[in-house]
Chain A
């Protein structure tokens, strides 16, 4: 099923002529940079999920808060939908434009407003790159913990919108655990500060509600993040396995030993080969799976933990265990993992990155299921996996120039996500639902739960103008989607507990 906005399933969108909107916005906000010619709009037609492209009606590139405020007020008055985007690195189509909508690009809000090393916080604008925060904080021996693989390019506003993660999440948490406050503008153009520099605020946890809300409840204009002291040391072990299942079991054994690694990542043979071919990380290309286990903290503790983890890995049947001998080798080990996506991209004209989570114990069963599905659909799948927290990233290799192959990849991706839900997991761990997984939301949530999500949306955006069609499917879409997957009004695999 095509994931582009379908008014029949996703709801009618207001119809305003482009000329009218351009004229109104130009008149009321004369200093706002508006793009409306097709050649100017073309660079903005997709985010990181580039298989799907839509030319927005127009693009607004504000530089001041008052411009954003005025833009939202006008769009609210004219009933024109607003899709907000930052660096556009999102992988679930969360910032996919709408033909009838304004694309609000926040990339010019790229200032680090203030760093307070003693309070260990940074106030930043939404367009600041994730890595730039850690770079600025490193002067004080501090850093910002969540580290999506795209951290060199992705913006913190988008991280908040998608509740982004990364390899450090098991120990240091997702974006939701590392943000203290956000300022937002509502669709009515009103300012609201949520959270504070204190560790809690009176009332409901609206801050948690904003995290991962995909630009549907408000436009984020400033973010206060927590900074952490840089660990004194970080060391990484690489363990090779001749069997994926053994590698999966080793993950559980490490945690059972009472150790929470700073990062615990797994790659299968296809991903290992791709990364090695691209980065020359020194990976064992014959291994069926490798585990990268990073231990960070105070030097003495890290050395103790390395001894323990080595013993655990040996008992778990690792065929080879290597400790990165210096910082350069440690960086190389991680470079292979962090570049696994582009590395896999070199093996195939296109790839489609999935993002499901499962309980770790289900890993062998789910990997086998993916392998069966891969054979059934005739497309190769490489697996990289945040093993510590059960977040899988199967990469489906395909060629969009071959008739029907994109659709096959989509169908295979959908099946993989449903497999994750069936195993007790979720259709997304850190990339968000966006437009990509809108149908699979109907597999994870029933109609009552989806109605409650719509109730939350209605509290913040009664006219449904902020990023319509993302994150939460309409019940009409679920009914349509259900026609393919739901039997006798039952969810797929009703016998399996989903909680």
Chain B
């Protein structure tokens, strides 16, 4: 089933031709979709190859909980098509602008507030089609829920930012929208919130988002109407507009606006205590994902920040790399052994270094 409301267009031939040409000339390519996440990563020099003309849902079967979609399809169109069947992308991807595409969503691997409870982008990827460095089409995974044949190259592409191949189409698992959704705001301290979240996490509560900032814990409850109502009564607090979560996901909350300092995303293990970062008040951070994803504006030494996160078992990513010294890089440097196997994989899958060279790390 495909949705007739939205235009479809197959531009595979021209994409293939452009990759082949680049391969012959050994000239690098810079992959672009809606260009909404260009900030996320290192700048790439190369001829632009755009997926934007390669668009449309190629197959949607709500009963099978599966959708296949071309890379250049606007995320908003995909979400609208799913919503008309009462379904959703459970990983709640951020758009960061109206032009966001599904290809960019997969390539950057970013997930929204529901991530700790529902899973990340990679958890919903069932298959990809991609063009390799010679412009040859490959299909990995497929349109079934379980598939363990061969290595999992579909998920390897998630978050690889186009450095290993050009994603042209993706198949995703979708889920029914929950029957009920209600959000709450509780005026409790950060310490109290983190300790409460650790306790709630051990119970089967219908939580689907939990963020502490601005002096309060913000919660979203999703599930059956009965359990959502029961849990609301148990937790108490004030009702919160569900639109809060979209503002958070899209970085539209006042916290994200008008700040000249670099914006950092910290990814940390569950139940990590408030971090002691020199010159930073722990309560000034947004503690999202029940504390596993934290946002902060800080002009701190990059090495110091990364080392604090590493000691806690996590890492730090800069969302405004243009505000950092070039040597710092947006992503936490890889451990030497891990870096060695990244280099080897890149060498094997894109030996000429055509795709998004240097986007993740200068070395590949």
Residues of chain A at the chain B interface (Cβ within 8 Å): 116-121, 140-142, 162-163, 165, 169-170, 173-174, 176-177, 190-194, 196-206, 208-209, 211-213, 217, 229-232, 252, 255-256, 258-260, 297-298, 300-301, 303-305, 357-361, 386, 388-391, 424-433, 437, 441, 444-445, 448-450, 452-453, 455-460, 471-472, 498-499
Cβ contact within 8 Å between B61 and A361? yes
**Are A208's CB and B152's CB within 8 A?**
yes
Q: Does B27 contact A (CB under 8 A)?
A: no
Contacts A205-B160, A429-B148 given; does A499 touch B143 at CB 8 Å: yes
Chain A residues closer than 8 Å to B127, beta-carbon distance? 499
Q: Does the CB pair A120–B315 fall under 8 Å?
A: no
**Which of A142, A170, A201 has the most CB atoms of chain B within a 10 A radius of its CB?**
A201
Q: Could you say which residues of chain A place their CB within 8 Å of the CB of B339? A: 203
8 Å CB contact of B86 from A258, A298, A456: A258
Chain A residues in 8 Å Cβ range of B179: 258
Contact A202 B334 (CB under 8 A): yes
> Contacts of B159 on A, CB cut-off 8 Å?
200, 204-205
A499 touches B142 (CB 8 A): yes
Query: Is B276 part of the binding interface, using a Cβ–Cβ cutoff of 8 Å?
Result: no
Interface string of B51-68 (1 = CB under 8 A from A): 000000000011111101
Picked from A194, A360, A459, the residue with its CB within 8 Å of the CB of B347 is A459
Contact call A177/B123, Cβ cutoff below 8 A:
yes
Please tell me if the beta carbons of A231 and B204 are within 8 angstroms of each other in the complex. yes
Residue among B150, B341, B348 making CB contact with A206, cutoff 8 Å: B341
The verdict on A432 contacting B148 (CB below 8 Å), with A203-B342, A204-B160 known, is: yes
Known: A121-B270, A204-B342, A304-B226. Is A456-B153 also a contact (CB below 8 A)?
yes
Asked whether A300 and B230 contact (CB < 8 A) given A196-B314, A203-B338, the answer is yes
Give bound CA distance, A377 to B149, whole Å: 26
Within 8 A of A (CB), among B118-164: 119-120, 122-123, 127, 129, 132, 136, 138-140, 142-153, 155-156, 158-160, 164
Chain A neighbourhood of B292, CB < 8 A: 198-199
Partner of A301, one of B63, B115, B223, B333: B223
Whether the Cβ atoms of B150 and A472 lie closer than 8 Å is: yes
A140 to B230, CA, bound (A): 23
Q: Nearest 6 pairs between A and B by C-beta?
A: A301-B224, A300-B226, A208-B155, A429-B146, A197-B269, A389-B145
Q: A192-B337, A460-B341 are in contact. Are A204 and B164 (CB under 8 A)?
A: yes
In the complex, what residues of B have CB within 8 A of residue A437's CB?
149
Q: Which residue, B63, B136, B156, has most C-beta atoms of chain A within 10 A?
A: B63
Please choose the segment from B4-12, B184-192, B195-203, B296-304 that sits at the chain A interface, where 4 or more of its residues have CB less than 8 A away.
B195-203
Known: A116-B271, A390-B145, A455-B349. A298 touches B230 (CB 8 A): yes
- Please provide the chain B residues from 221 to 269 with a CB less than 8 Å away from any CB of chain A in the complex: 223-227, 230-231, 267-269
Taking the closest CB of chain B, its distance from the CB of A199, in whole angstroms, is 5
In the complex, which residues of chain B have a beta carbon less than 8 angstroms from the beta carbon of A232? 204
Assess the B149–A426 pair: CB atoms within 8 A. Answer: yes
Q: Are B338 and A190 in contact (CB under 8 A)?
A: no
Minimal Cβ-Cβ distance residue in B for A218: B341
**B337 CB contact (under 8 Å) in A190, A213, A391:** A190
Bound together, the chains give a CA A361 to CA B62 distance in angstroms of 11
> Are A298 and B223 in contact, CB atoms less than 8 angstroms apart?
yes
Q: Can you list 11 A-B pairs, Cβ within 8 angstroms, ordered by A?
A: A119-B271, A176-B123, A199-B115, A203-B342, A229-B203, A298-B224, A303-B226, A391-B145, A426-B148, A452-B132, A472-B150
| B344: interface (CB < 8 Å) | yes
- Asked if B13 is at the interface (CB within 8 A of a chain A CB), the reply is no
Flag if B144 contacts A426 (CB, 8 Å).
Answer: yes
Which residues of chain B are within 8 angstroms of A260 by Cβ–Cβ distance?
175-176
What B residues does A427 contact at CB under 8 A? Answer: 149
Contacts A456-B345, A471-B150 known; A230 to B123 CB distance under 8 Å?
no
Q: For the A-B complex with A199-B292, A424-B143 known, give 4 more contacts whose Cβ atoms are closer than 8 Å.
A: A119-B198, A142-B202, A199-B120, A202-B334
Q: Which residues of B contact A191 (CB under 8 A)?
A: 337
Contacts of A432 in B (CB 8 A): 148
Chain A contacts for B155, CB-based, 8 A: 176, 205, 208-209
Minimum Cβ distance to chain B for residue A492 (Å):
16
**Contacts of B227 on A, CB cut-off 8 Å?**
297-298, 300-301
Partner of B129, one of A116, A229, A499: A499
**C-alpha spacing A305/B231, complex, angstroms:** 18
Residues of A within 8 A of B120 (CB): 199-200
B113 within 8 A of partner (CB) = no
**CB-based contact A390/B144 at 8 Å:** yes
Contacts of A460 in B (CB 8 A): 341, 344
Flag if B144 contacts A441 (CB, 8 Å).
Answer: no
> In the complex the two chains form, is B345's CB within 8 Å of A459's CB?
yes
Q: Tell me, yes or no, whether B206 is within 8 Å of chain A by CB.
A: yes
Nearest chain B CB to A394 CB, angstrom units: 15
Min Cβ gap A460→B in Å is 7
CB–CB A429/B147 < 8 A: yes
State whether A196 touches B331 (Cβ < 8 A): no
Neighbouring A residues of B204 by C-beta, 8 Å: 229-232, 297-298
Decide if B98 is an interface residue (CB 8 Å cutoff): no
Complex Cα distance A456/B62, Å?
A: 34
Min distance, Cβ B116 to any Cβ of chain A, angstroms:
6
Once A202-B331, A204-B159, A361-B61 are accepted as A-B contacts, the answer to whether A209 and B144 lie under 8 Å apart by CB is no
Would B144 and A361 count as touching, CB distance under 8 A?
A: no
Beta-carbon contact of B344 and A452 below 8 Å: no
- Complex contacts, A209 vs chain B, CB 8 Å: 151-153, 155-156
A208: contacting residue among B116, B122, B144, B270, CB under 8 A: B122
> Which A residues are in CB contact (< 8 Å) with B295?
none
Nearest opposing residue in chain A for B195, CB measure: A118
Binary per-residue interface labels of chain B (317-344) against chain A in the complex, 1 for a CB within 8 Å, 0 otherwise: 1000000000000011111011101101
Q: Decide: A304 near B225, CB < 8 A? Known: A202-B317, A229-B201, A297-B204.
A: yes
Give the shortest distance, in Å, between A472 (CB) and chain B (any CB). Answer: 6
Q: Is the CB of A141 within 8 A of B202?
A: yes
Please determine whether B224 and A433 come into contact, CB atoms closer than 8 angstroms.
Answer: no
Of all chain B residues, the one with the shortest Cβ separation from A254 is B63
Task: Write the chain A residue with the least CB distance to B154.
Answer: A208
**Interchain CA distance A390-B146 in the complex, whole Å:** 8
Contacts of A255 in B (CB 8 A): 63, 65, 176
Which A residues are in CB contact (< 8 Å) with B345? Answer: 204, 456, 459
Highest count of chain B CB atoms <10 Å: which of A119, A198, A203, A360 = A203
CB atoms of B270 and A120 under 8 A apart: yes
